[in-house]
Structure 1
């Protein structure tokens, strides 16, 4: 059984933060299985999933506070387990582009929750439209659609939701 550690990091931008944390993980014989690193305003945010022996993860947990204190980062760590794969679930992606309005993510996530579909990954960002300068949002979502959910009906309901909310949305299978 693999030992896993979920790590979340938030703090002011530090050019070396990613390299320093990755170096610490490698020095402790931990493997970074999954990483999300982004700028949120002037803050750096990281989500990492590390794997290693119990001792390697303990060594990382023990050494991390000195590094994060130096870089003024806030860190949360939690031992975790791997996800159980669902052989019956179908991987789908959704992309939505729309005028940015409060509540879009709430409405989309509630829609999929109501359909029994699990959200696996969400990435969103805003930008100014090139010609008009209007505030736009792009949502990219990875879904796991249970085998018992009728895909055509789900797609039809998704398109109706997009029409109702004035969103441009696409839902398609993830090809592996």
Structure 2
């Protein structure tokens, strides 16, 4: 009888351990585009013209306008694509945007400044609670960790992303 209880407890522990993983499995329709509407503070995962999921987001600490220079606190606007993933980010998972694109680089160079870079969609900071400002990143797009886990699972590298004002 004790052996059955022990096996039951072990199997239950193994089953529950799988529920806590930050790596979700997604088997639905392909995400063909990500849309971020800055004014609405919403991220949409699209399959062609159909919305699969939508999530609230937080933006750069200076959310109005297009990112032009390193340190300006703005979130880029325009057409990009997902170009990298970081499961070991200092935030709870992250996927990278292809910012800066050639026109972003050219504009910054014409002004003798750096366009910046390392713009990501990511979860909350690991180990450091963020402050309570509505928009707090350096120009990234932040989601709640549980939402980021699904975005990370659903969005592949190469997926186009449109960020609107």
TM-score range with shorter-chain normalisation?
A: under 0.3
> When you count strand as a share of all residues, which structure comes out higher?
1
TM-score, length-normalised on structure 2?
0.23
> When you count helix as a share of all residues, which structure comes out higher?
1
Q: Which has the higher contact order (CA 8 A, sep 6+)?
A: 2
